[in-house]
Amino acid sequence: MRAAEKRFANLDEQAERELATVQRLTDRREFSFAGKQEEAQAVIEIIPATSIKCVPMDWVWRGYFARGKFHVIAGPPGVAKTTITMSFAATISSGGYWPCGARAKRGNVVIWSGEDDVADTLVPRLHAAGADLSRVFFIGDTKVGNEVRPFDPANDLPALELEVLRIGDVALIIVDPVVTAVGGDSHKNTEVRRGLQPLVNMADRLGAAVIGISHFSKGSSGRDPVERVTGSIAFGAVARVVMVAAKRSDEEEGPARLFARAKSNIGPDGGGFAYELEQVEVEPGISASVVRWGAALDGTARELLGDFEEIDGGPRNEAAEWLRTELSRGEVPVKKLKAEANGAGASWRTIETAKRDLGVIAERISSGNSGGGYWVWRLPTSNTANTKAASLTTESCGLAELPMVARVPEASKAATPQEFMACGVAVLPIEEVTL
């Protein structure tokens, strides 16, 4: 009898312990007998997929940046990354047109710049791009009690979020440079992710697109553009879209500058637009640079950058060396070159760029009297081996079968000139910023 009572007593004690454990897990706060508040137990929220309603992406510029997302624009110094973002700010504030021709929905823009002066650089650029200045706001100093100090993106985002809510209808927030949002080591993956997360969260809560501006690492030409963003790879990994800008490093004809998508987790990547910079006078004695958008560009960002940058030891030079070796023994059919390039992991677009650099000659070999044939490439004579093409051409270097009866030069046609769409320049009254 006593044994049975003891067993029941043990069961009662076990039940009480289990009940106490459940109680602690369901309570947000737990207090000790001494009355001291202890840290709350973590409670994980599990959300069934059936309770989540699908919603469409809320694009600011379709395919390039969206509300509630974090984005990065990167490139080498001197390619006008900040001027590009001022163009975006002008387009949004005025309800203007994107480079693709689509009309932008009007909204407010908030800008923080730690590098350029507002009065003599940024506001003149906004003027030149036709911005509605009543919809553009610059982040100033931070005030804590009686103390005033410079705004710190790494620590002041909660206060900024409140101000952005007061402004209302903010479609775009620009952070230049984005590395300032990271309080720790910008080369450490964990610290960068921790530093960028408040920006990501703020974008989500406010429903605004956040664009951070960064540079390319030195000596990174030829690498994957996302890997070239200065600092940890986390900058490119955290961003939902990474965009790049570059300018041509040689005197070849064609667009002088390019803007392209290097990565997108929320839409298509690759492709972009040509652009030029123009200096315009916004007031007597005050001039500013403005972006003139040009034609759409096809290809991956890496391929496009390969056409614009001189790459020491990179894919462009490697492709030229590879092609020179392949053609050193004589002409080679294009079909065979394509197969060899694919097997070597080389981009055919980069091979075509190397072809222009080397001045490779393309000819068609006829096959019988039926009009069949194939294209071959061969190195030029020694006195023209390093001559570059003098004009843009569209080459029929594929496998098209044209009626030929003998060896003839490759058919080509001159490409149409790039026609740049000039954005309107509006000189607006200066409001709160004195130039």
How many helices and strands (H and E) does the chain possess? Answer: 10, 21
> For residue range 33-71, what is the model confidence (pLDDT) as tens digits?
445 556 678 999 999 999 999 999 999 999 999 999 999
- CA dist., res. 128 & res. 82, Å (int): 14
Dist. CA 56–CA 58, nearest whole Å = 6
Q: Count Cβ neighbours within 10 Å for each residue of 256-267 and write b for 16 or more, e otherwise.
A: bbbbbbbbbeee
3-state secondary structure of 335: helix
Mean pLDDT of the 371-378 span: 84
Domains of the chain and CATH, by start: 2-51 (no CATH), 59-308 (3.40.50.300), 315-404 (1.10.10)
Report the distance separating Cα 70 and Cα 308, nearest Å: 27
- Within 8 A by CB and 6+ apart from 304, the residues are 246, 258, 260, 272, 297
Distance CA 374, CA 333 (A): 7
Assess contact for 294 and 244: CB atoms under 8 A: no
* Predicted structure pTM score: 0.66
Tokens of 14: 């076990």
- pLDDT tens-place string over residues 66-78: 999 999 999 999 9
First to last CA, the chain: 97
- Amino acid, res. 197: Q
d(CA 310, CA 156): 40
Q: Residue 321 has what pLDDT?
A: 77
DSSP, collapsed to helix, strand or coil, labels residue 13 as helix
134: Cα separation from own chain's centroid: 28
If pLDDT is split at 50, 70 and 90, which confidence band does 297 have?
very high
How many angstroms separate the Cα of 27 from the Cα of each of 17, 20, 44, 47? Answer: 15, 11, 13, 20
- Would you state the pLDDT for residue 387? 38
Which DSSP string do the residues of 212-254 spell out, in sequence order? EEEEBPTT-TTS-GGGGBSS-THHHHH-SEEEEEEE-SS--SS
Question: What is the average pLDDT value for the chain, to the nearest integer?
Answer: 80
Mean pLDDT of 22-38: 48
The alpha carbon torsion through 82, 109, 267, 205 (nearest 10 deg) reads 130
**What share of the chain in percent tops pLDDT 90?**
53
Does residue 9 carry a pLDDT above 70? no
For residue 178, the model assigns a pLDDT of 94
Beta bridge partners of 138: 111
- 141-163 mean pLDDT: 93
The percent of residues above 70 in pLDDT, for the chain, comes to 75
Contact 359, 319 (CB under 8 A): no
Express each pLDDT in 98-144 by its tens digit.
Answer: 999 999 999 999 999 998 999 999 999 999 999 999 999 999 999 99
Structure-token pair, residue 432: 């709160």
Preceding omega of 255 cis (within 30 degrees of 0): no
Question: What value does the mean pLDDT take over residues 140-156?
Answer: 92
66 versus 256: the higher-pLDDT residue is: 66
Rounded CA separation 152/175 (Å)? 11
Q: Which of 20-24, 147-151, 190-194, 247-251 has the lowest mean pLDDT?
A: 20-24
3 state SS of 395: strand
Give the three-class secondary structure for 301. Answer: helix
- 276, 292 Cβ separation under 8 angstroms: yes
Q: What is the dihedral of CA 416, 418, 424, 430, to 10 degrees?
A: -170
Buried b (16+ CB within 10 A) or exposed e, 396-423: ebeeeeeeeeeeeebeeeeeeeeebeeb
Q: Most confidently modeled of 91-95, 268-272, 281-285, 372-376?
A: 91-95
Which of 151-155, 235-239, 394-398 comes out lowest in average pLDDT? Answer: 394-398
Q: Give the gyration radius of the chain's Cα atoms.
A: 30
Q: Look at residue 420 in the predicted model and tell me its pLDDT.
A: 32
pLDDT of residue 320: 78
Stretch 417-431: mean pLDDT, rounded?
34
The reported pLDDT for the residue numbered 403 is 33
Residues 298, 305: Cα–Cα separation, whole Å: 12
Q: Which phi and psi (to 5°) does residue 35 adopt?
A: 90, 0
